[in-house]
Chains A and B, each alone.
Chain A
């Protein structure tokens, strides 16, 4: 049973436009959400996170939105750049002492020059 779902395996966007990456979750105990970015031949790296007490968190070109009632979050990248081309993983956890991250399957973003 997949608790974190990234239903679109890939997304292609023109440089300069907005990229919107979606993520859904089923576990109502999740209260902390993160996005990781992964380039080929490298490990995933932390990008941005959001706590369930917020509905938006922004860091430069990256903004994450959280809709708790819909159990949905999205990552917006504006403007998209070719260097943003990578695999993006959505992850979630509760904030208990024994919490662990649960990852989605990832989405491959391609930004066309």
Chain B
């Protein structure tokens, strides 16, 4: 099993629908992150959580919300999806004891039509 698992892998949804992307990890890391990747824009941070009771906005949090249900689970919600939220979404985990590197999931390709 992958260290960081994202579900679903692909999703097409309609404008205005609520959608949740899920992330679970077996690394035992306290820190979890949600990024989106757009062509020509790289990886941009949406939200991050340093432990179960900690939630922080990243650089592009508008239109998104998150929930940290447990150390191992961090979900991203789009309350009312819009077409410019079409992107590749990545969940990542990290631990301060591991040289600050991140472990990424395989991504969720979301298309909003």
Say yes or no for B55: interface residue by CB 8 A criterion: no
Please report whether the interface of chain B is mostly helix, strand, loop or mixed according to DSSP.
strand
Tally of A-B residue pairs with Cβ under 8 A? 52
Per the bound structure, the CA–CA distance linking A42 and B41 in Å amounts to 17
A contact residues, range: 20 to 34
A42 touches B100 (CB 8 A): no
Whether A25 sits at the interface, judged by CB under 8 Å, is no
A80 CB within 8 Å of chain B: no
Q: Once the chains bind, are B40 and A9 in contact (CB under 8 Å)?
A: yes
Q: Would you give the 0/1 interface string for B45-74, flagging 1 where the beta carbon is closer than 8 Å to chain A?
A: 100101000000000000000000000000
Q: Is B99 an interface residue (CB 8 A)?
A: yes
A43-72: which residues lie under 8 A (CB-CB) from chain B?
43-46, 49
Known A-B contacts A44-B43, A105-B42; A49 and B104 likewise in contact (beta carbons under 8 Å): no
Contact call B45/A105, Cβ cutoff below 8 A: no
Contact A44 B104 (CB under 8 A): yes
B96, B99, B105: which contacts A43 (Cβ < 8 A)?
B105
Residue in contact with B100 in the complex, picked from A9, A93, A103, A105, CB distance below 8 Å: A93
Chain B residues packing against A (C-beta within 8 Å): 4, 33, 35, 40-45, 48, 50, 90, 92, 94, 96, 99-107
A residues at B contact (CB < 8 Å): 6, 9, 32, 34, 36, 41-46, 49, 89, 93, 95, 97-101, 103-106
